[in-house]
């Protein structure tokens, strides 16, 4: 029933519309125009004004023609860099970029799947309850769009986010919390050749702190990483300031606290050891979520997969997504695999078969809930 040719053409068109994070307006306007032509109610909220994007989130509604439960589908419109001038190519049933940019399947494969499913529903007068759609801005780098979504415009209590790299059939039921940890190490300048003993090296403090941190894979549920080290200057001056940006994630709040505390202690101990200072800022980017496997929403997705001959399986994720925020706002949500591979790299790609199955799954979930 899905128009496979149109789905692929839609996806190819979408990825060629530039929409780097905080510059989603062109893509949002395109989607808004498409949905209004389909007869959907479309509203753009004011999240962009709050987070520095040129667009707001799109909130869309297709009124039901049955008394089925209202459900929400969501994907994000923004893409990571480099994503200007994407030139998609098809090789052996797989869509790639030309190798100079990302592809943008994260998350335009999700957007295209939802849009094609809705158009199919309308064309074929398929029974459905109320369907709400959120296409969010500024997901990459902090989930800021959905954090500032106008939730009073949303009525669904069940949500399906299409934004995972697993094959269609994957159901992400657990995702981590993340803390962002920024630190400034402060030492004392001195001439490195004449009187280095009068200085305190911020680089040395930072190196000591990092060397005493547990990083990368901590355990099955916890990770940590240093993403940026910045500071220094001429070699003849003892460096006064160094900045590091770090993160910690865990599926368990208590483990996240333990890891964060350990990283903070390593920084404070290093500053004390070298008679320097450290200023630390900790921001909780998002909280963890967990949906029990026996929840009705999981059973419905499994049933939909079975109807399509797809293998359904649940999994946890080490990455955050809009799913984390929706759950914190009282919308029980799971993240669904759509087959995007190697996201955030120049090797990103998606098999046409996975794109089609992701779209078919959206349509089948609608049918099951109707």
Residue 51 has pLDDT above 90, yes or no: yes
Distances (CA, A) of 12 to 95, 96, 129, 359: 9, 10, 30, 15
Determine the pLDDT at residue 234: 97
pLDDT tier at 5, thresholds 50, 70, 90: very high
Give this prediction's pTM: 0.92
At 173-225, the pLDDT tens digits run: 999 999 999 999 999 999 999 999 999 999 999 999 999 999 999 999 999 99
* Burial (CB count within 10 angstroms: exposed 0-12, middle 13-18, buried 19+), residue 329: middle
Determine the pLDDT at residue 38: 96
In the set 78, 119, 340, 364, the catalytic residue is 78
Mean pLDDT of 259-286: 97
Residue 370 has pLDDT above 90, yes or no: yes
Tokens representing 314?
């649940």
Determine the pLDDT at residue 276: 98
pLDDT tier at 327, thresholds 50, 70, 90: very high
At 112-158, the pLDDT tens digits run: 999 999 999 999 999 999 999 999 999 998 999 999 999 999 999 99
Residue 340 has pLDDT above 90, yes or no: yes
Give the residue from 142, 145, 8, 7 showing the smallest Cα distance to 76. 145
Beta bridge partners of 286: 178
Determine the pLDDT at residue 15: 98
Mean pLDDT of 15-38: 98
Domains, the chain: 4-175+287-369 (3.40.630.10), 177-286 (3.30.70.360)
In the set 130, 139, 208, 241, the catalytic residue is 139
Mean pLDDT of 26-55: 98
Q: Half-sphere exposure (CA, 13 Å, Cβ side) for 68? A: 21
Residues 271 and 205 sit within 8 Å (Cβ to Cβ): yes
pLDDT more than 70, % of the chain: 100
Mean pLDDT of 292-313: 98
Determine the pLDDT at residue 120: 98
Q: Who's near 1: CB < 8 A, 6+ residues apart?
A: 120, 124, 363
Determine the pLDDT at residue 126: 97
- Rounded Cα gap, residues 270 and 317, in angstroms: 33
Determine the pLDDT at residue 1: 87
Tokens representing 205?
């403090």
Give the residue from 303, 353, 337, 351 showing the smallest Cα distance to 110. 337
User: Does 78 participate in catalysis according to the annotation?
Assistant: yes
User: Does 221 participate in catalysis according to the annotation?
Assistant: no
At 8-20, the pLDDT tens digits run: 999 999 999 999 9
For all residues of the chain together, what is the average pLDDT? 97
Q: Half-sphere exposure (CA, 13 Å, Cβ side) for 306? A: 7
């Amino acid at each position: 029933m899905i128009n496979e040719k149109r789905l692929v053409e839609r996806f190819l068109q979408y990825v060629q519309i530039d929409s780097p994070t905080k510059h989603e307006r062109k893509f949002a306007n395109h989607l808004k125009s498409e949905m209004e032509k389909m007869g959907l109610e479309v509203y753009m909220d004011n999240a962009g004004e709050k987070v520095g994007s040129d667009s707001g989130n799109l909130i869309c509604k297709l009124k039901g023609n049955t008394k089925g439960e209202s459900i929400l589908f969501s994907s994000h419109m923004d893409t990571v860099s480099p994503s200007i001038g994407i030139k998609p190519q098809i090789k052996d049933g797989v869509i790639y970029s030309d190798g100079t940019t990302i592809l943008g399947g994260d998350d335009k494969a999700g957007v295209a799947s939802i849009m094609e499913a809705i158009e199919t529903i309308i064309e074929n007068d398929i029974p459905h309850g109320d369907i709400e759609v959120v296409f969010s801005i500024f997901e990459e780098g902090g989930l800021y769009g959905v954090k500032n979504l106008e939730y009073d415009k949303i009525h669904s209590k069940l949500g399906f986010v299409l934004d995972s790299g697993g094959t269609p059939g994957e159901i992400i039921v657990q995702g981590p919390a993340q803390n962002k940890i920024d630190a400034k190490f402060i030492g004392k300048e001195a001439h490195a050749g004449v009187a280095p003993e009068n200085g305190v090296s911020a680089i040395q403090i930072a190196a000591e702190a990092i060397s005493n941190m547990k990083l990368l894979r901590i355990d099955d549920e916890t990770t940590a990483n240093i993403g940026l080290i910045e500071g220094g200057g001429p070699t003849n001056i003892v460096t006064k300031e160094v900045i590091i940006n770090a993160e910690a994630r865990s599926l368990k709040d208590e483990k996240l606290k333990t890891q964060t505390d350990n990283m903070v202690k390593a920084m404070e101990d290093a500053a004390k050891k070298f008679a320097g200072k450290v200023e630390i800022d900790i921001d909780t980017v998002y909280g963890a979520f967990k949906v029990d496997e026996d929840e009705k929403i999981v059973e419905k997705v499994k049933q939909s997969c079975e109807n399509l001959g797809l293998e359904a399986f649940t999994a946890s994720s080490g990455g955050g997504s809009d799913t984390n925020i929706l759950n914190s706002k009282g919308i029980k949500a799971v993240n669904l695999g759509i087959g995007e591979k190697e996201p955030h790299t120049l090797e990103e790609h998606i098999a046409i078969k996975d794109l089609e199955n992701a779209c078919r799954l959206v349509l089948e979930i609608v049918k099951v809930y109707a």
